[in-house]
Each structure stands twice: as C-alpha cells, then as structure tokens.
Amino acid sequence: MAKLAFTDLKDKVVVVTGGAGVLGLSICKAFATHGAKLAIVDLNQEKAEKMAAEIREEFGNVNIGLTANVLNKQSLLDAKDIINNELGSIDILVNGAGGNHPKATTQVEQMVEDNEEGTFYDLDLEGFDFVFDLNFKGTLLPSMVFTKDMIGKGNKGVVLNISSMNAYKPLTKIPAYSAAKSSINNFTEWLAMHLAPQEIRVNAIAPGFFITDQNRFLVTNEDGSYTERGQKIVNGTPMAKFGEPEDVQGAVLYLCSDISSFVTGICIPIDGGYNAYSGV
C-alpha cells in the first residue's frame, strides 16, 4: 500500500475565488505546498496579483492572480479563458468569495421595544440582497463556469464550497449571511448528486469563528480587544478561541484530494467545537 499523502494534487489546476482574502490566502498556500497550479481570483486584481507573487516567491509553484466578479458570468468566463490559456484545464474549484456587510446587519440582537430602531424592520434591502447574492450566487455562478472543464473527461473534478456555522445555527444580527450560508449547504448536496455521474465531487467546509476583514467590525474593538459579541463567541466555543486561518487547511486538502475519493455531498465543521456545544 502506498503511503497516504496529497501527492495527487501536484500540477492540478486549482481556482480559488476570494483567494486574496484571509481564509482564501491560507487555502491557496495549502495547495501551493503540494505543487498545485493556482489561479487566485479576486475582485481586487492588485491584491490578487500581489498574493500570487508572494506565493511564487515562497513556494516556487506556478500561479496567477487575476480579477473577476463572482456575480457577473461574463467576467467569470473571461477569467476562465485566461486560466485555460496560462495554466490549463481546471481540476479543482474552491468557492471562497463571500462575506457580510454592515448594511445587512441589524443593530440589536432582539426587538424589545415596539419603536426600537435597528431591528429586522429597518434592514436595508439592497444591503440584504448584496450579502445574499455575494455568498450564494457568488458560489452558484463560478460553479457554472469553472466546472465546465471537468465535464466528460473523467478527471475526478472537485468543487469545495465555503459554508459557515451560520448554516447550522443562525446568529443574531446577520440574517442575510445566515440565510445564504444555509442555502450553500443545500446547494452543495444538490450539486453533488447532479454531477456524481461526471465523477465530480462537491463538498463544503463550515468554518466557525475566524476574524476576517468582513467581520472585524463586529467582533473586535479599535484597540484589538473583543467586543461584547466577540467575547460571547469565545465563551460559546469549547476551545475558547477564534480559529487561525491555517486551521482550515487540513480539511481543504482532504476534501480536494483523492484521499476522499468516495466522499461527496458533505459539509465539515471547522469550529473549535462550537456546533457541539449547547451553551449548558
């Protein structure tokens, strides 16, 4: 029996949307350690190119940084042309683009007074639509575009979606983000069944609480200390801390490699025990 390792990832063409974000960059580095060819796709082209250059310098692998809007199909098709021309046919897609926004966030956790401001009734609908679309359609559209290379080739393509603990236990204040991540879990299962005859596996990971650019305003103060909400998160996590970006790497490599070749349609929590804890 051969030694179990992630050697099958070498020279695979991996597309990571949102690749210049905190978790996206960690995921890209995980693939880079095993010689994958990376396409770091982000709305911010300058940031994507900078991350690509840093990874090339550190790991020496082939990669490119490019821009695309995950809510614009033509933008994704244009990016796919560049990826195919420079790296080859796509083997793995990681749908890492997503996030929250203050306009889709209520100011209070519960509505106590009839005339209270900042409740569900005061949500900005444009903000709500933006967050829901970014997370759900921003997973749907890249899957439509980038998995086309995996069809009919028997090359065991892989899609990895990024869900969240919000999919299991919706958090106060962020209804759009919670609803979108819940829909990603359902979509992961649906697409896994739909593409199984094509030997394309579709799975997801559900990160617990990591401090990112999108949620920093909710969980930390300007001096770096935890807000009341941030402290509540730590108190509700059995491991009593926020996750580090590197904590997602093992599950990502497992689900994207042939080691998990009979695994499809699942979502793995990476949450320090948050989902297992009832609070009592």
Strands 37-42 and 158-162 come out as unpaired
Model confidence, pTM = 0.94
Distance CA 12, CA 232 (A): 41
**Residue 135 identity (one-letter amino acid):** N
Q: Where are the domains of the chain?
A: 7-215+245-276
Note the pLDDT tens digit of each residue in 13-49. Answer: 999 999 999 999 999 999 999 999 999 999 999 999 9
Choosing from 121, 168, 177, 226, the catalytic residue is 177
pLDDT tens digits for 239-252?
A: 999 999 999 999 99
CATH architecture of 7-215+245-276: 3-Layer(aba) Sandwich (3.40)
25 contacts 278 by C-beta, under 8 angstroms: no
| 201-219 per-position pLDDT tens digit | 999 999 999 887 767 777 8
177 tagged catalytic: yes
Rg, the chain, Cα only: 19
